[in-house]
Amino acid sequence: MSDKILLGHGSGGTMTRKLIENLIVKTLGNPTLNKLTDAATLNLPSGRLAMTTDSFVVTPPVFPGGDIGKLAVYGTINDLVMVGTKPFYLSLAFILEEGIELELFRRIVDSIAEAAENVGVEIVTGDTKVVEKGKGDQIYINTTGIGIIPDGIEMSPERIQVGDKVILSGTMGDHGITILACRKGLEMKTDLKSDCAPLHRLVNAMLDVEPKIRVMRDPTRGGVASVLNEIAEQAGVEIKVEESRVPILPQVQGMCDLLGLDPFHVANEGKLIAVVPAESAEEVLSAMRALPEGKDAAIIGEVVAKTEYPEVFVETEIGTTRILEMLAGDQLPRIC
């Protein structure tokens, strides 16, 4: 086998075949995937089915704390568990750029295998395309996940009530700032790591304590601010966030200061925001803190009013307020 990915690896012929058999199936294989049929046949317990999809396009593909493979598994798992799903199966589709090192691809596939095993999901169907050099960015991955929502779990923004507490499961912005620090040209050095992690255990622990959690979201692209605004709008409420309670690493704050960024708009990959009934908020929080992925969890705010003009505002550390908006456009480093 060549040590680079060539267009032929995506041609559908013997090169594709060997790549899939020798690398993907060998690493990720299970009786369902091994059949390599056009579509996989699956077994699921009864219950409501949930489905989600995401493509992953992160640069660089390997970064402190993770890689695009781990991200692709955990990202989709997290979207499933945000609505209370028990994840069962994933599909896995690669778009590889001609010329990348086979070794990199192998590493990513290994990482996917490890992540899938860690969460207990099976990869049951897949696809590998190769695009010409200069028409991709090393590796793009799509994963689509399905699972079953147990009876009794019914999260929805409409259930949100005034007084509900807003919980953030850990420090804000680690992933986005880690990726930014990798960017060629910025030349920032930190010991930051992406928070890339699966949230299924955390969600289970939370739902065990309080099955009536109103809504959960993972604040990925667009950050905490965008997710809170979405929730406020879908529920028709005003949400207050107390800035001094929002967990954030000094390095993340430092990088945001340097580059003029707002950490509320920075992406996370192993965090969740939950709106929880006030009466059980502390108990949910304790359950979260008992797990490593929730050890820094905090109640960061609450739902303060039903309103025709949904909004999210921050109570600053000096006791004043400001509006917290959704991200508009991309965040760009600035000097002013």
Contact positions toward other proteins, by CB under 8 A?
A: 1-2, 4-8, 14-15, 18, 98-99, 133-134, 181, 185-192, 249-251, 253-255, 257-260, 309, 313, 316-323, 325, 328-329, 332-336
49 contacts which partner out of a copy of itself, Mg ion, other proteins, none, CB within 5 to 8 A by kind? a copy of itself
Within residues 79-118, the interface with a copy of itself by CB under 8 A covers 79-80, 82-83, 85, 89, 91-95
C-alpha 202 chain-centroid distance: 14
Packing angle, helices 68-82 and 102-119, rounded to 10: 30
Residue 46 half-sphere exposure, CB side, CA atoms within 13 Å? 0
H or E element in which residue 311 lies: strand 311-315
Binding mask 227-256 for a copy of itself (x = CB under 8 A): ---x--------------------------
Local structure of 97: helix, strand or coil:
strand
Supply the minimum distance, in Å, between the C-beta of residue 176 and other proteins: 14
Q: How far is Cα 115 from Cα 94, in angstroms, rounded to an integer?
A: 16
> Measured between alpha carbons, how far is residue 322 from residues 55, 59, 110, 240 in Å?
34, 33, 45, 10
Within residues 253-312, the interface with a copy of itself by CB under 8 A covers 265, 267
Closest C-alpha to 149, from 100, 197, 198, 211:
211
Within residues 150-189, the interface with a copy of itself by CB under 8 A covers none
Decide if residue 21 touches a copy of itself (CB under 8 A). no
Decide if residue 125 touches a copy of itself (CB under 8 A). yes
Question: 145 near 76, Cβ under 8 Å?
Answer: yes
Between 60 and 333, CB nearer to other proteins: 333
Between 9 and 214, CB nearer to other proteins: 9
